[in-house]
Homo-oligomer: A and B are copies of this chain.
Amino acid sequence: MTRPSYGRAFALWRDASPKWPAYVGHPFVEGIRTGDLLREKFLHYLRQDYVFLIHYSRAWALAAVKADTLAEMRAASAAVHALIHHEMPLHVEICAREGIDPEQLEATMEASANLAYTRYVLEAGYSGDFLDLMAALAPCALGYGEIGARLNGSGGPYADWIETYGGEEYQSLCRDVGALIDGALEHRMGRDWAGQPRFEALSGRFATATRLEVGFWQMGLETEE
């Protein structure tokens, strides 16, 4: 099994997160890999993912507000810009190809599982600091990287989606995010960050966010909210 390397904190967080296998190996993900996922489920997911992207972009904007160094600001600002000015229009385009027009997309009612994850991330960021935000964002940012790396080359009806996250561009971005996180930990806590109580609390953030990501895939399998 491919376990991509996105830095030290991610490796530790993943190992301390009981639901990680249930997230990256969720039946929804398996359905994408084998191609057995019903198109209708995938479109439901795409619509929710569009709403997700809005709040995910806001979370990265909050990271720019909460950054301690210029390097952190630049990384967060570049992420926001890429999300809002590239990934979101791309998403609109993909949805349009699937017959979902922009008005329908805009009218999507945000599912509870979607609300749960994004608001958890944003609240973690508001109530905590840059590290809390990173720990809550990481299951999404890096989990999609791990899923993409695992599914890469599977082909089938969802090959485009797989290529988006399994391709070198996204994999490289994941390594950058991993390095940003490791750097942020060291900047604030010194080289021995892994043994501190704070790091344990961050692992808890990551584990909770992972649980909510499982709920997101699960929501993808249920057409009704």
Contacts and interface: CB of A to CB of B under 8 A. Distances in A.
A58 B69 CA distance: 12
A128 interface: yes
Q: Is the interface of A mostly helix, strand, loop or mixed?
A: helix
Given A120-B119, A189-B196, A208-B115, A129 B126 contact: no
Interface string A173-201: 00000000000000111100001111001
Interface stretch (A36-44, A76-84, A146-154): A76-84
A189 B192 CA distance: 11
A115 B212 contact: yes
Contacts of A119: 116, 119-120, 122-123
Interface size class of A (residues with CB under 8 A): 35 or more
A31 B74 CA distance: 34
A172 interface: no
A211 interface: yes
B116 A115 contact: yes
Interface string A132-170: 100000000000000000000000000000000000000
B116 A112 contact: yes
A194 to B, nearest CB: 12
A85 B80 contact: no
A54 interface: yes
A179 to B, nearest CB: 18
A106 to B, nearest CB: 8
Interface string A39-75: 0000000000000001001100110111110100110
Interface string A102-135: 0000000010110110011011001111001000
Nearest 3 interchain pairs by C-beta: A116-B116, A61-B64, A119-B119
28 contacts: A54-B70, A57-B64, A57-B77, A58-B64, A58-B65, A58-B67, A58-B73, A61-B62, A61-B64, A61-B80, A64-B84, A65-B122, A68-B201, A70-B88, A73-B84, A77-B81, A80-B80, A112-B116, A115-B116, A116-B120, A119-B119, A119-B123, A123-B123, A126-B127, A127-B129, A128-B129, A190-B195, A190-B197
